């Protein structure tokens, strides 16, 4: 972290909004490394919030607009079992595909 009198914009943002948010997502939003985000957060400087902010909320606060499809962080595998981390656009796509498949299935049974 830089001198408190000279906090970078991204540092002030993470301190104000990054409590318990995913470091990977914060890094993608503010254009910093995950290590930089983690170092800042380990200082205990982050303001405690009622609940952590999600990617879309943080992105809108930083960029002044909702995230587009290409703004979401790259997919990654997490955990020892290398489980895929689904992002909101992918969940929406899967839900719409499931709905389309269910409709086709109902029509074929009729």
Beta bridge partners of 84: 77
**What are the residue boundaries of the structural domains of the chain, listed by start?**
1-68, 75-110
- State the Cα–Cα distance between residues 37 and 43, nearest whole angstrom: 10
How far is residue 35 CA from its own chain's centroid?
16
DSSP state of 55: H
Which of the two residues, 46 and 104, has the higher pLDDT score?
Answer: 46
pTM (2 decimals)?
0.70
Name the pLDDT band for 56 (thresholds 50, 70, 90): very high
Which of the two residues, 37 and 84, has the higher pLDDT score?
Answer: 37
Give the mean model confidence (pLDDT) for residues 49-68.
96
């Amino acid at each position: 972290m830089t001198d408190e009198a000279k906090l970078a914009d991204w540092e002030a943002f993470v301190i104000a909004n990054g409590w318990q948010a995913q470091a990977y997502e914060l890094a993608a939003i503010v254009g910093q490394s995950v290590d930089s985000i983690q170092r800042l957060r380990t200082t205990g400087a982050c303001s405690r919030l009622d609940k952590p902010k999600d990617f879309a909320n943080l992105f809108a606060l930083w960029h002044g607009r909702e995230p587009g499809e290409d703004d979401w962080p790259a997919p990654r595998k997490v955990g020892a079992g290398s489980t895929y981390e689904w992002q909101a656009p992918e969940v929406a796509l899967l839900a719409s595909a499931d709905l389309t498949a269910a409709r086709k299935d109902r029509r074929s049974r009729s």
